[in-house]
Amino acid sequence: MTRARNRDGQVYTMEGIVAALIIVVSVMFITSSINLVSPSTEKAVDTKMTIMAQDTLVTLGTVDQPSNFSSVLKRDLVAWTGLEASDTVEVPAGETAIVGLNDQIGEMLPPNVLYNLQVLYWNDLTGTLETKTLIYHGDAQNLTYNALSGSKKIVINDEDTQGIGSSYWKNMAKPKTVEAKLIIWWV
Amino acid sequence: MGLRIEDESGNLNIDFLVGVVIFIGAFLYIIGTIPGFFLPYQTNSVDLGSVVYRTSCLLAEDPGWYVDDVSGVNGTAWEYEDIAKLARVGLAVDKKTPNVLAMDKVSRMSSIPYVLSRDDLGLNNTLVYNYSLKITRFLPDDTDQVLLNISQPSYASNVESIDRTIIIREGEGLYYDNHTFIKGGIAYVDTNATNLSVERHPCFDQTNITVRLTNFVRSNGSYSGFAVYYYVGPYYNDPAKVEAAEGSEYYLFKNGAYMDVADLEFVPFDKGDKLDVVLNMRVIQAKYAALGLNVSRVMLSTVPTAITHQIIAAFPDISLASEVAEDYNLTNPNYRYFDDHGMMTVQVWQV
The pairing of strands B86-88 and B65-67 is antiparallel
Given a contact cutoff of 8 angstroms between Cβ atoms, the answer to whether B308 and B99 are in contact is no
Residue A183 DSSP label: E
Q: What is the pLDDT along chain B (351 residues), one digit of tens a residue?
A: 566 666 666 667 888 888 899 999 999 998 888 877 666 555 555 678 888 999 999 999 999 999 988 888 888 888 888 888 999 999 999 888 899 999 889 988 988 999 999 999 999 988 889 999 999 998 877 788 898 898 887 777 788 889 999 999 877 655 544 334 444 433 444 433 445 555 554 444 555 666 666 555 554 444 556 677 777 766 555 667 777 777 778 888 777 678 887 777 677 766 666 677 777 777 777 777 777 666 666 666 654 332 222 222 223 332 333 233 333 344 555 566 778 899 999 999 888
Whole-number average pLDDT of chain A: 85
Q: What is the model's pLDDT at position B201?
A: 45
Given a contact cutoff of 8 angstroms between Cβ atoms, the answer to whether B298 and B279 are in contact is yes
Given a contact cutoff of 8 angstroms between Cβ atoms, the answer to whether B318 and B227 are in contact is no
The pairing of strands B275-279 and B195-199 is unpaired
Region of B309 please: left (phi>0), alpha (psi -120 to 50) or beta. Answer: alpha
pLDDT band, very low/low/confident/very high, at A59 (cuts 50, 70, 90) = very high
Please report, for residues A54, A136, A147, B79, B92, the alpha-carbon distance to residue A50 in angstroms, rounded to integers and kept in the order given. Answer: 6, 18, 9, 31, 21
Taking the C-alpha atoms of residue B318 and residue B324, their distance in angstroms, rounded to an integer, is: 12
Residues 261 to 300 of B: which have CB under 8 A from any A CB?
none
- The residue in chain A having the minimum alpha-carbon distance to the alpha carbon of residue B175 is A65
Closest by alpha carbon to A72, among A56, A95, A86?
A: A56
Distance from CA of B330 to the nearest CA of A (A): 6
Q: In chain B, where does DSSP find H-type helix?
A: 14-37, 48-61, 103-109, 114-120, 281-289, 308-314, 318-321
- The residue in chain A having the minimum alpha-carbon distance to the alpha carbon of residue B158 is A37
Q: Does B167 touch chain A (CB under 8 A)?
A: yes
Q: Does B339 touch chain A (CB under 8 A)?
A: yes
Are A37 and B49 in contact (CB < 8 Å)?
no
Taking the C-alpha atoms of residue B111 and residue B84, their distance in angstroms, rounded to an integer, is: 12
Q: What is the model's pLDDT at position A162?
A: 84
The pairing of strands B159-176 and B97-102 is parallel
The sign one gets for the Cα dihedral B21, B26, B28, B29 is: positive
- The residue in chain B having the minimum alpha-carbon distance to the alpha carbon of residue A12 is B19
Q: In A64-184, where does DSSP find H-type helix?
A: 72-78, 96-108, 158-161
Please report, for residues A34, B125, B131, B346, the alpha-carbon distance to residue B51 in angstroms, rounded to integers and kept in the order given. Answer: 24, 12, 10, 10
Q: What is the ipTM of this complex?
A: 0.76
pLDDT one-digit tens code per residue, A111-160: 999 999 999 999 988 999 999 999 999 887 777 677 899 999 999 988 88
Given a contact cutoff of 8 angstroms between Cβ atoms, the answer to whether B338 and B181 are in contact is yes
